[in-house]
Structure 1
Amino acid sequence: MSVFSTLGGALAQAADLIEPLFGASATAAAIILFTLCVRAALHPLARAAARGEKTRAAHAPRLAELRRKYAKDPERLREATAALYAETGTSPLAGCLPALLQLPVFFLMYHLFTNDGSGLLGHTLLGAPLGGHWSQALADGGPFGPHGLVYLALFALAAAVAFWNYRRARTTMARSAEGGTAADGAVPGLGGMLKVMPLLSFGTLISVAVLPLAAALYLVTTTAWTACERALLHRGGGADRTPEKEIAA
């Protein structure tokens, strides 16, 4: 039995269990619940990544000093920066791990709702086929038709989350620039990548427009979770607790 059939069977069983509550949209609700379960399982990694961000921020002055000291010696700067990250137990790319671990799940979801053999293509969300695309919704009633309204709701949610992420990322990048924390010394080209990262928040809107509805639903749900999770972890509790505070607690 393949992993696709296993996941498809699990989704079908979950949909059957919650069908009395959600009716014909039970499979869509099962996708959301599945997404929340995946993100809950990855939450410890997100907490660790947030603690790493706090540690890197605390050592920003040391990193800035290294950049000034070895400004004319890139190789020595990379070595010194790598040593600093090893000493503090952090990594400039640690925050990417939760996102990378979600990729297999996303591709599984995409495969299930683009493969005729999955048995899931006929399921709907408020009448819109989970295997369908926005272009089909536009052709069947236009943007304000019954199917188009489902996509408009997803677009609205994705845009709200993207704007929040954009503002937060811009603020973070500005603080990093002021503190000299761009990690080019440890990872060549990372500083340039960080400059465009705020704009990537709006990529979700493009994804909703081109992906099957089921995959778009997964993507919007996980993106909204990420925004809420980061807001909670960086509001003065959770990941913002230093080791000394955790011991005292």
Structure 2
Amino acid sequence: MDFYAFGPIAAVLDTAYTLITALVDFLDPVAGALAAGLAIALVTVGVRGALVPFGAALVRSEYTRRRIAPRLAALQLKYKKKPELLTQKTMELYREEKASPLAGIAPALLQAPVLSIVYGLFILTEINGHENALLGADLLGARLGDSLFAALGAGAGPSVIVVYLAVLAVISATSWFTRMTGLAFAASAPRFEGAPDVPPAMVRTMGAMSWLPFITVVFAAVVPLAAALYLAVSTAWTLAERTILRRVLAPR
């Protein structure tokens, strides 16, 4: 089943499309060739700004896991041969701390439908039965409905390819800083007496997973430029938001 063809979703998507095309028309006299790209950036920032409370919940859950980590480790050592009792004691600990083992997952799941609808604006050629004119617009000569590979295949000129490469460069830089800040945050976690050493295999796995943000770069090269621009703004916002919230919400 097509998620975007579901009646209520299609209606919401169509409303969002009407708003963003109106924004493009509003910006056009001032921004000219940048109007469509600027509208995409502004809509992305507006949506991500509205979702900041979910980001804050995610950061709080990170610090909660850090706070209870020593007690969880103690329980795992004490009841490692009694898995049922370990599960019971673990849940009791979470209830005592007024926390949930799913606290880090729920905010992401709640954001997903909203972000999926916004993303649909930038990848669908048709919305609720009519053409998505946004993908026919240009950004400095580059068609928003074409991917980098499509532009290369069509023989686009150097000035057009530079637009795609600039967007990919922003995503690449953001992915690098996301990786580095993630590693730094993990390394700053306090160690506690009696904590078991992390198995080498897990260390290697965590190291490999730290490169996952770069998948966005590959993905951005094959989706329409409108979607790539959305990914550039969204990932940059996420990096800045997470960095600021980790400082603001850090335990004193």
TM-score interval (norm. to shorter): 0.7 to 0.9
2:165 to 135, 148, 152: 152
3-state secondary structure, aligned to 1:136: helix
Q: Against the structure 1 CA distance between its residues 147 and 78, is the aligned structure 2 distance closer, same or farther, given a 3 Å change threshold? A: farther
Q: Which residue identity does 2:178 align to in structure 1?
A: N
Residue 173 of structure 1 and its aligned partner are, at CA, apart by 4.3
Once superposed, what is the RMSD of the aligned Cα atoms? 3.0
Question: Residues 137, 121 of structure 1: CA spacing in aligned structure 2 closer, same or farther, 3 A cutoff?
Answer: same
Q: Is residue 2:124 matched to residue 1:114? A: yes
Pair 1:105–1:219, CA change in 2 (3 A): farther
Distance 1:216 1:35 in 2: 12
CA drift of 1:82 comes to 2.6
Query: Structure 1, unaligned stretches of length 5 or more?
Result: 182-190, 243-249
CA deviation after TM superposition for structure 1 residue 194, in Å = 6.2
Deviation at 1:57, TM superposition (A): 1.3
Match of 1:247?
none
Mapped contact 1:126–1:147 kept (Cα < 8 A): yes
| Contact 1:159 1:205 survives alignment (8 Å) | yes
- CA deviation profile, 1:114-166 (whole Å, cap 9, x unmatched): 31412222112111111111102223456x81221112112211111111221
For structure 2, the residue ranges without an aligned partner over 5 or more in a row are 1-9, 197-202
Question: Which letter does structure 2 place at the counterpart of 1:240?
Answer: A
Match of 1:139 in 2: 153
Aligned runs of 1:45-64 on 2, under 5 Å?
Answer: 45-64=54-73
- Tell whether the 8 Å contact from 2:44 to 2:234 is kept in structure 1 after alignment: yes
> Offset at 1:65?
0.8
Quote the residue 1:100 is aligned against: 109
Residues 54 and 108 in structure 2, CA contact (< 8 A), matched pair in contact too: no
What amino acid maps onto 1:134 in structure 2? L
Conserved? CA contact 2:171–2:231, under 8 Å: no
SS at match of 1:15: helix
Residue equivalent to 2:242: 230
Deviation of the 1:34 alpha carbon: 0.8
**1:88 pairs with 90, 97, 102, which one?**
97
Number of residue pairs the alignment of both structures matches: 232
* Structure 2 residue 181 is matched with structure 1 residue 168: yes
Task: Indicate the residue corresponding to 2:49 in structure 1.
Answer: 40
Normalised TM-score (structure 1):
0.79
C-alpha displacement at 1:4, in angstroms?
Answer: 2.6
Cα distance change on mapping 1:176 and 1:13 into 2, 3 Å:
same
3-state SS, counterpart of residue 120 of structure 1: helix
Three-state SS of the structure 1 residue aligned to 2:100 is coil
Query: 2: CA distance between counterparts of 1:74 and 1:176?
Result: 27
**Residue equivalent to 1:126:** 140
> SS where residue 22 of structure 1 aligns?
helix
Alignment of 1:205-244 (within 5 A): 205-235=217-247, 238-240=248-250
Whole-Å Cα distance in 2 between the matches of residues 138 and 23 of structure 1?
25
Q: Distance in 1 between matches of 2:144 and 2:107?
A: 26
Contact 2:57–2:107 at 8 Å: present in 1 too?
no
Equivalent in the alignment of 1:24: 33
